[in-house]
Amino acid sequence: MLKLIKLDQGGPAWVEDSYFDVPDEEPTPGQGDVLLSFARFVEEGEALAAAGRKVGVRLNADEPVEALAPHLDRVAMVALVFPKFRDGRQYSQATLLRMRYGYAGELRAVGDVLLEQGRFMARCGFDAFAPADGTGPEDWAGALARYRHVYQTAADRREPNFALRLQAAEGA
């Protein structure tokens, strides 16, 4: 079972992953929550969702979120795969899911997920992480709290410095 850190527990905490990550070459199990590749989701997702199953979609960095967008109401979870921590495409994909397509479900970072990129991921709307570097919730709590302020608006909707300044000026 995947070790997963989630943010919706009042801070980073381990949770049990209920999804079975289905490899493309294996059949979909007959019960339980499943995580499918985008291609498999297109084939099977609708029927599984209609049967009351929770279905997650695993999206690679070269599979554009635009293709997933029309199906989002049937998706219970999206897992964006980081092929290499240096590959930043999924930050844009996450931002688009949250800000353009209004996706509000679980957004999971999987693949080469490292603590030091955690705050960027959280700001782009990821709320679940499968760390590949052996770090745990305490490390993540520290890393996500390192910065008291942010300079720009992002999917996490934190108030950027320019908004805080404006509020201070209006309050004064």
Partner 1 sequence: MYRYDALDAEMLADRTAEFRTQVRRRVAGEITEEQFKPLRLMNGLYLQLHAYMLRIAIPYGALNSAKLHRLAHVSRTWDRGYGHFTTRTNLQLHWIKLKDAPDILASLAEVGLHSIQTSGNCIRNVTADPYAGAAADEVDDPRVWSEAIRQWSTFHPEFSFLPRKFKIAVGAAPDDRTAARIYDIGLKLRRGRGEEGLGFEVMVGGGLGRTPYLGPTIREFLPTRHLLSYLAAILRVYNRYGRRDNIWKARIKILVASLGAEEFARQVEAEWKAMVETGEAAGIDVPEAEVARIRQAFGEVPFEDRPAASAAFEAARAGDPAFARFVRHNVLPHKVPGYAIVTVSLKAPGEVPGDCSSDQMDALADLAARYSFDEIRVHYEQNMVLPHVALDDVPAVYAELQRIGLSTPNVGLASDIIACPGLDYCTLANARAIPIAQDIAKRFADPAVAEDVGELRIKISGCINACGHHHVGHIGILGVDKKGEEFYQLTLGGSGLEDARLGEILGPALPAPRVAEAVDALVDTYMRERAEGERFVDTYRRIGLAPFKAAVYAEAH
Question: What backbone phi and psi angles, to 5 degrees, belong to 52?
Answer: 85, 10
Six-digit token string for 13:
């905490």
Q: Establish if 88 lies at the interface with partner 1 (CB under 8 A).
A: yes
- 33 or 156: CB nearest partner 1: 156
Residue found by looking up tokens 């930043």 in the block:
88
Eight-class DSSP state of 148: S
Residue 35 C-beta: closest distance to partner 1, Å: 23
Where does this chain touch partner 1 (CB under 8 A) — which range of 15-23, 34-42, 71-79, 113-121? Answer: 113-121
Residue found by looking up tokens 């679940």 in the block:
128
Q: Establish if 172 lies at the interface with partner 1 (CB under 8 A).
A: no
**Cβ atoms of residues 154 and 95 within 8 Å:** yes
Where does this chain touch partner 1 (CB under 8 A) — which range of 4-12, 18-26, 67-75, 120-128? Answer: 120-128
Distance CA 78, CA 56 (A): 5
How many Cα neighbours within 13 Å face the side chain of 76?
A: 18
**Cβ atoms of residues 12 and 141 within 8 Å:** yes
Residue 95 C-beta: closest distance to partner 1, Å: 5
Q: Establish if 146 lies at the interface with partner 1 (CB under 8 A).
A: yes
- 46 or 92: CB nearest partner 1: 92
- 64 or 105: CB nearest partner 1: 64
Residue found by looking up tokens 């049937």 in the block:
74
**61-80: which residues touch partner 1 (CB under 8 A)?**
64
**Cβ atoms of residues 111 and 128 within 8 Å:** no
Q: Dmax of the chain from CA atoms?
A: 63
Q: Establish if 104 lies at the interface with partner 1 (CB under 8 A).
A: no
**2-61: which residues touch partner 1 (CB under 8 A)?**
none
Q: Establish if 165 lies at the interface with partner 1 (CB under 8 A).
A: yes
Residues that bind partner 1 (CB under 8 A): 64, 85-89, 91-93, 95, 99-100, 114, 116-117, 119-121, 123-124, 133, 146-154, 161-162, 164-166, 169
